[in-house]
């Protein structure tokens, strides 16, 4: 897909709550990757699903407080329904989709093909007749799934080399009419010139589906960098329940935003312990090849 934008990276939080230090670290990395490669850096709020009042404003304020800046405007997915509907409508018109009436439980309980991953869509509704679809529509509304013509797809990742992941007939639009995550992010990235996606490595398995959909839509898949997660003291995914992990909670315990950026920089090998840094200084020091490849174990401040 052609567009009139210069290349860009992005950070795309979901406004379901306050960002914790793991989210902030990923945002720092996303900007470092973008700015050090002379890309624009964009901010997108992924608000198609759970939205907590005030979360978007607090998230953007916290990102600014630690020194991040981005190219305006901030994109809201909730304002882009027409763009998603247009893409989905085109795929439907081309016969590249089918209606699906399965619940999550039915998919999990259905027998799958040998070697198919747990939870992969088993193709239950793929070849229904029109009469069968009409009967099922009386029971529940349909989701729209992509009619995939591959079972796997390979992406190239700056930190993880080549990664091949499973591709099934994944959902493009949920049965309540909401565009699915995999569809929305692909459309948004292409529309805004994003050719570099930096995010947590828990999303690495999503990349093959998204890159495959991008190629089906005539877009060039972005360059990926899936960065190590931040874990708690038990080596489990960091969460707000782990103690003072948000900027507001840390501030209450005497750790200001400047110190939080310094902590993140130390964890990335970009600063000495206690050194005060700025995003500009970190950009000059940044080298993807020198990044730690192991998760950062964050000892949250409790109490």
d(C-alpha 266, C-alpha 215), whole Å: 38
Rounded distance between C-alpha atoms, residue 167 and residue 207, angstroms: 10
Give the dihedral of Cα atoms 201, 44, 179, 102; nearest 10 deg.
20
Q: Does 10 count as an annotated binding residue?
A: yes
Residues 96 and 126: their CA atoms lie apart, in Å, by 11
- Cα distance between residue 267 and residue 24, in whole Å: 12
User: Is 236 labeled as ligand-binding?
Assistant: no
CA-nearest of 230, 222, 190 to 206 is 222
Taking CA 276 as the corner, what is the angle to CA 270 and CA 281, rounded to the nearest 5 degrees? 50
Task: Tell whether residue 100 is among the known ligand binding residues.
Answer: yes
121 is in an annotated binding site: yes
Tell me how far apart the alpha carbons of residues 40 and 26 are, in angstroms, rounded to a whole number.
Answer: 17
Q: Is 181 annotated as a binding residue?
A: yes
* 78 appears as a binding residue in the annotation: no
Q: Residue 201 and residue 222: Cα distance in Å, rounded?
A: 16
User: Known binder of ligand: residue 14?
Assistant: yes
Determine whether the annotation assigns residue 99 to a binding site: no
Three-state DSSP at 278 gives coil
**Burial, 86: exposed, middle or buried (Cβ in 10 Å; 0-12, 13-18, 19+)?**
exposed
Distance between CA atoms of residues 184 and 173, nearest Å: 9
**Residue 12 counted as an annotated binding residue:** yes
Residue stretches of the annotated binding site: 10-14, 46, 100, 102, 121, 125, 181, 199, 240
Residue stretches of the annotated binding site for ATP: 240
Residue stretches of the annotated binding site for L-glutamate: 10-14, 46, 181, 199
Residue stretches of the annotated binding site for Zn(2+): 100, 102, 121, 125
């Amino acid at each position: 897909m052609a567009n009139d934008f210069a290349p860009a990276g992005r950070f795309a939080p979901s406004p379901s709550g306050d960002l914790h230090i793991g989210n902030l670290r990923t945002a720092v990395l996303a900007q470092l990757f973008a700015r050090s490669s002379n890309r624009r850096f964009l901010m997108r709020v992924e608000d198609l699903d759970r939205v907590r009042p005030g979360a978007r404003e607090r998230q953007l304020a916290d990102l600014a407080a630690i020194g991040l800046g981005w190219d305006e405007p901030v994109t809201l997915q909730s304002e882009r329904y027409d763009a998603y509907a247009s893409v989905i409508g085109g795929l439907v018109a081309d016969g590249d989709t089918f209606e699906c009436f399965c619940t999550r439980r039915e998919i999990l309980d259905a027998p799958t093909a040998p070697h198919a991953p747990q939870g992969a869509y088993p193709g239950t509704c793929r070849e229904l007749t029109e009469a069968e679809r009409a009967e099922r529509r009386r029971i529940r509304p349909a989701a729209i799934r992509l009619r995939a013509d591959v079972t796997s797809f390979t992406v190239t990742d700056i930190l993880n080399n080549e990664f091949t992941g499973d591709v099934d007939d994944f959902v493009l639009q949920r049965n309540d009419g909401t565009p699915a995550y995999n569809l929305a992010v692909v459309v948004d990235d292409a529309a805004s010139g994003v050719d570099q996606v930096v995010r947590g490595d828990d999303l690495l398995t999503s990349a093959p589906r998204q890159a495959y959909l991008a190629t089906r839509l005539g877009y060039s898949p972005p360059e990926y960098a899936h960065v190590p997660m931040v874990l708690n003291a038990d080596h489990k995914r960091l969460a707000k329940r782990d103690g003072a992990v948000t900027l507001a909670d840390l501030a209450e315990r005497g750790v200001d935003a400047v110190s939080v950026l310094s902590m993140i920089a130390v964890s990335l090998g970009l600063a000495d312990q206690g050194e005060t840094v700025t995003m500009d200084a970190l950009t000059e020091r940044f080298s993807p090849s020198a990044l730690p490849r192991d998760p950062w174990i964050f000892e949250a401040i409790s109490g």
